[in-house]
Amino acid sequence: MTGKTAFETRYGFRRNEVVLANWRENPFNQWSFQNLGELVPTARVVAAPASVETPVRNMGGLLGEKVAVASTSETMAEFLARSSTDALTVMKGGKFIGDWFAPHMDFGARHIIFSISKSLTAIIAGILEGEGLFDPEAPVTTYIPEAAGSAYGDASVRHVLDMSVSLDFEEAYLDPESAFARYRRATLWNPGGGTESLREFLLTLQRLAEPHGQTFRYRSPNSDLLGLLLERASGQRFADLMHEKLWLPLGAVGEASIGVDMEGTARTAGGISVTPRDLARVGEMMRQGGMANGRRVVPEAWVHDTTVSGGSSDAWQRGAMQPLFPKGRYRNKWYQTGLPNGAYCGIGIHGQWLYVDPKAEVVIAKMSSQPAPVDDPLDVEIVAFFETLSRMV
């Protein structure tokens, strides 16, 4: 009998057990979330040459400290394990003060951030708006005329940015017979793809009777459409936009990647993979009002609108995510928490978070491999954990 390979010893399963049909399931996601490009096509987003970084280990001795989450109290290490955390990186006042990694993830490894991809994509929208190339108030058909027969035919780019398109579509993550499953086949994320492109799928979607702009509806196709809008407005492919407009000015150290479909269309709703530190750098850039390394990356007015002043409270209150942030709002693919500390964040399924506490000058990037795509009670605990950790550091 042959012994276990190094891969089996580390992950508890064989590499050939991870396939397109199960890559988002636990325990296989502990590997696949760091290796998206081995399962679906991806485009590279190269970073500038940089010096080698070293981690700040053990979170400054905080792993044994008790943290209050909801009605329980446990050590930070216990909570990280219970919430299926793969990596946690913390910045304070612009400096990295802690890096924690699960045994199955290495420092400097990329990890898919799922719907935080939306937040990064919207940053590029803000950059292009500042350059006069993109108008958030324009009709979608200004950039994509062929959308006229779809749900987006009478929608504005603003509706797309704020998830207030009256779209007849449900985020049915676990239903193999749903329109969502067809959507994932179009992105090449599920078996059976390759007959319908992402663009073709988006243009078949229809609207509800309710007017656009009235209700916050979390619908991922809106954010893939945003990627198409940015490509049409700029004349560049999305990976090149991200490289030129965001990754280089940000000072990102690690190469990023993004999933693409059969036509090379980027999965801007959820296909970006980055390192924890580079994700934290995005949050720090937002905390600095759009500045990074002394350089303006995105207009300050856009950042303020995204994180403080913009968004409709009424639309949020009508939406299904209101219980997570009872006083929240949603603007430009970012969540305003409505908490006293003025925190805002990007969130992705399976436990991906980018949390910014401007009052405490803290940025937290959390990457995870939670078994379920959505875990509402755990999300409430994670927010409480972030609040506690921000106070502790």
pLDDT value for 263:
97
pLDDT value for 73:
79
pLDDT value for 51:
76
- pLDDT tens digit string along 250-306? 999 999 999 999 999 999 999 999 999 999 999 999 999 999 999 999 999 999 999
User: First-to-last CA distance in the chain?
Assistant: 50
pLDDT value for 98:
95
pLDDT value for 2:
65
Domain boundary assignment for the chain: 1-32, 95-392
| Lookup result for tokens 């970084």 | 53
| Lookup result for tokens 């502990």 | 30
Q: Which residues of the chain have pLDDT under 70?
A: 1-2, 70-71
Catalytic residues: 115
Q: Count how many Cα atoms sit within 13 Å of the Cα of residue 20 in the half-sphere of its side chain.
A: 14
Q: Find how far residue 327's CA is from the centre of its chain.
A: 21
Please tell me the distance from the alpha carbon of residue 303 to that of residue 126, in angstroms, as a whole number. Answer: 8
Burial of 118 (0-12, 13-18, 19+ CB in 10 A): buried
pTM of the model: 0.97
Instruction: Return the CATH architecture of domain 95-392.
Output: 3-Layer(aba) Sandwich (3.40)
Helices (H), 266-350: 276-287, 300-304, 313-318
pLDDT value for 41:
97
Burial 43-67 (b: 16+ CB within 10 A, else e): bebebeeeeeeebbeebeebbeeeb
